[in-house]
């Protein structure tokens, strides 16, 4: 049967630990509900700002791309079925296909925001060489986007400089993403316990200025478990994941 993974192959699958999270993103109504909830809340915050804030500075909303406005779970699913992990080549092939679907609620919300005169900026850590295909994907899905408002990764994964560039001419009313670094540099390169502490210190910003979306498949939460070591092998990654469990 095409796409079937035998028990023996599954036991050796380097992506095995991602099976449940990818299944959840693709199949759980709860996952879709969290997206709708987040964008519904974002609309409430936008409407509140439109009604109450009399600033003459132009409004902007900043969104991440991956797992925020586009869903890459098909890429993760294919990696699992093919029994291999992320590679820059396979990722580029997926992005260049420009077939990622929109996440639930994202298209409707950003179209609504654009109709209110709000400029949407897409700040993503996709590499600059993927800009054309990323723009094509977003444009064909119907997102309100101009190429100059699609800000790719160049020399650093930190989004601080790109946010500051937006702030020169706009007032950012919402930041929307699936990773803490989509919101502020204060979350960058912290170990797990410190990430959690800084979240608690800034808890009043979530749902008000920061809109968080679910992503159990990957992110800085996982990198923190590996101490941000990109060279660590899969066996050591598995050991660190187990050590991070708290029975």
Interval 134-163 mean pLDDT: 97
Q: Which residues of 114-129 are buried (b: 16+ CB within 10 A; e: fewer)?
A: eeeebbbbbbbbbeee
The answer to whether residue 9 scores a pLDDT higher than 60 is no
The reported pTM is 0.94
The DSSP code for 28 is -
Between these two residues, 4 and 213, which has the higher pLDDT value? 213
The answer to whether residue 82 scores a pLDDT higher than 80 is yes
Interval 186-203 mean pLDDT: 98
Between these two residues, 84 and 181, which has the higher pLDDT value? 181
Token readout for 192 is 């797990």
Between these two residues, 16 and 165, which has the higher pLDDT value? 165
Question: Which domains, ranges and CATH numbers included, belong to the chain?
Answer: 7-244 (3.40.50.1000)
Between these two residues, 131 and 3, which has the higher pLDDT value? 131
The answer to whether residue 6 scores a pLDDT higher than 60 is no
Interval 221-233 mean pLDDT: 95
- Model confidence at 2, pLDDT cuts 50, 70, 90, reads very low
At 1 the pLDDT is 41
Question: H helices within the chain, ranges in order?
Answer: 7-11, 19-27, 29-52, 73-82, 88-97, 106-115, 131-141, 160-167, 192-201, 220-225, 234-244
Mean pLDDT of the chain: 94
At 67 the pLDDT is 98
At 12 the pLDDT is 63
């Amino acid at each position: 049967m095409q796409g079937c993974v035998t028990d023996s192959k599954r036991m050796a699958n380097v992506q095995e630990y991602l099976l449940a999270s990818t299944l959840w993103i693709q199949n759980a109504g709860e996952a879709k509900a969290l997206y709708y909830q987040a964008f519904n809340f974002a609309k409430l915050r936008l409407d509140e700002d439109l009604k109450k804030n009399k600033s003459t500075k132009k409004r902007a909303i900043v969104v991440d791309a991956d797992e925020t406005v586009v869903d890459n779970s098909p890429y993760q699913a294919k990696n699992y079925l093919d029994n291999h992990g992320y590679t820059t080549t396979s990722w580029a092939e997926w992005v260049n296909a420009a077939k990622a679907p929109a996440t639930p609620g994202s298209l409707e919300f950003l179209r609504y925001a654009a109709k209110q005169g709000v400029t949407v900026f897409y700040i993503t850590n996709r590499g600059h060489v993927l800009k054309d295909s990323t723009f094509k994907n977003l444009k064909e899905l119907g997102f309100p986007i101009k190429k100059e408002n699609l800000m790719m990764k160049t020399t650093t994964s930190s989004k601080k400089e790109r946010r500051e560039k937006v702030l020169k001419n706009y007032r950012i009313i919402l930041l929307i993403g699936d990773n803490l670094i989509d919101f502020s540099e204060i979350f960058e390169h912290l170990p797990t316990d410190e990430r959690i502490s800084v979240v608690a210190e800034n808890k009043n910003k979530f749902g008000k200025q920061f809109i968080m979306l679910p992503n159990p498949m990957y992110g800085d939460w996982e990198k923190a478990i590996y101490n941000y070591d990109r060279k660590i092998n899969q066996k050591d990654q598995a050991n660190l994941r187990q050590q991070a469990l708290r029975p």
